[in-house]
Structure 1
Amino acid sequence: MAQRRRSKGPGPSQGELLAAEEDFAPTQSASQVQRSLERLSPAQVDQKVSELVQYLLVKDQKKIPIKRADILKNVIKDYRGVYSEIIKRAGRTLQQVFGLQLVEIDPKHHIYILVSNLPRLEVENLKQDDCTAKLGLLTVILSFLFMKGNAAKESAVWEMLRRLRVDPGVRHEVFGDVKKLVTEEFVRQKYLEYNRIPHTDPPEFEFQWGARAVKETSKMQILRFVAKIQNKDPRAWSTQYTEAAAEEAAVGGLFQDVNTPGDTGGASQGARRRTW
């Protein structure tokens, strides 16, 4: 009798709460979520999104499938009324900043994994435990530089990162000292160049692709990454697409010259197919 009253009362057991959360999360209506959001401050929601992003990155480092029940229990907790909004914002951050997509691999048991959308980069000098996160940040910066004409002022790069909630003046929970990571670590590893702009007073600096980035990825790969993030066709950026295609054609021509000197076009077509 008492047990039945407890199940209907305001204080459910942990098992009952988890079961309720499991059923609750996917059935939230837009109006329910909006009402719950109105009871929270933007800072509270942003903090919970950051916690979820960090939690998912840690799980991904260990390649452990992520259960929705664990997300609700360990991260969402009392914020389950805005679960769908938090998971949506966290997914957007993972995609925009880290190049990762949250994918449900088991709809019945609600199990997720993170899948990388990043272009190929070796990042051999990055520690394995934070490789994914730093690779995502590096790819975002390389993408920004390419889309801006292959160079951008330092101030423009910082402003772009701030819009993605990565402030170079504030220690980041995943990246640590962002400014040091970008201007020292990435530069030392030759992924970026960081040079003073001539005749500027006070001194201004700009970023460009470094020699290692040029060797390990291509402009077409980066353009496809940007297009996937924005859900567009790469040809939507005609200037960048022309430049990236010209680079690919040059690489394909080199492949043809080295491997099939007697071919009049077949090898170039084959090389292009392999690249695409």
Structure 2
Amino acid sequence: MTQRKRLSNSQTPSQSKRRSDSLEEDDGDMPFTQPSSSQVQRGMEKFTNSQVDQKVAEVLQYILVKDQKKIPVRRADLVRNILKDYRNVYPEIIRRVVQTLDQVFGFKLVEIDTKNHLYILINKLELSEATAPLNAPSNPKMGLLFVILSVIFMKRGVVKESLIWNTLKKLRVDPGEKHALFGDVKKLVTDEFVRQRYLEFVRVPHTEPIEYEFRWGQRAEVEVSKAKILEFMGQLHEQEPQTWSQQYKEAHAPPGASQPSTSQQR
């Protein structure tokens, strides 16, 4: 016992935090199982309509606040932090939340990770017009992200970290210097964009010194139009999008087609 205690106390704060984060992830969905229709029916009998409506409003607020920060909603966190005693009526509350998001806000709740049950909001109008929020970036950060995603897509889905930094340097955005608009560029790209699931930043196995590579994240796969990226590249290079035949084929493949997309090269 004494030895175990010494080992525990020897951990650095960062190690303890990583362990805590890991345990929180592991604990996440384990206690929660989707209730059956009969369980939902019995659960609804315990609450008044006003109580359920209040809980629906709390879930809506939670999802909308997360969306403002572009952070995916994790089902386990939603159940643990917001639903709590209402977990047995989860399907009914989510049904009402989805309906309100659709009819009032024009959003669609999309699951981008079926293993960890992560959800994001998509603008239904933009989906119906076959466009995406990043097609015409309205702020500098999204413009920077669009450039990075374009490089990754044109390189067939995976690029070394060094290529991204060299590309940004050509645009006078040096990851080693603080930028007037973006602040800490490296932190923005490798932390914020990754946390928002626009990018994946993974270590390349068996490399010495250690190397990393970038790929499209789950949110980008849902939100960003590859066809628009090709149009952008065509305008930039004064060429037709069809010039890049493989990328053009992938960008215009029907939904669900087995293309070697950015998400499949993993």
TM-score range relative to shorter protein:
0.3 to 0.5
Which of structures 1 and 2 has the larger relative contact order (alpha carbons within 8 angstroms, sep 6+)? 2
Normalized per residue, the structure richer in helix is: 1
- The two structures have a TM-score, normalised by structure 2, of 0.45
TM-score, with structure 1 as normaliser: 0.43
**Structure number with larger C-alpha Rg:** 1
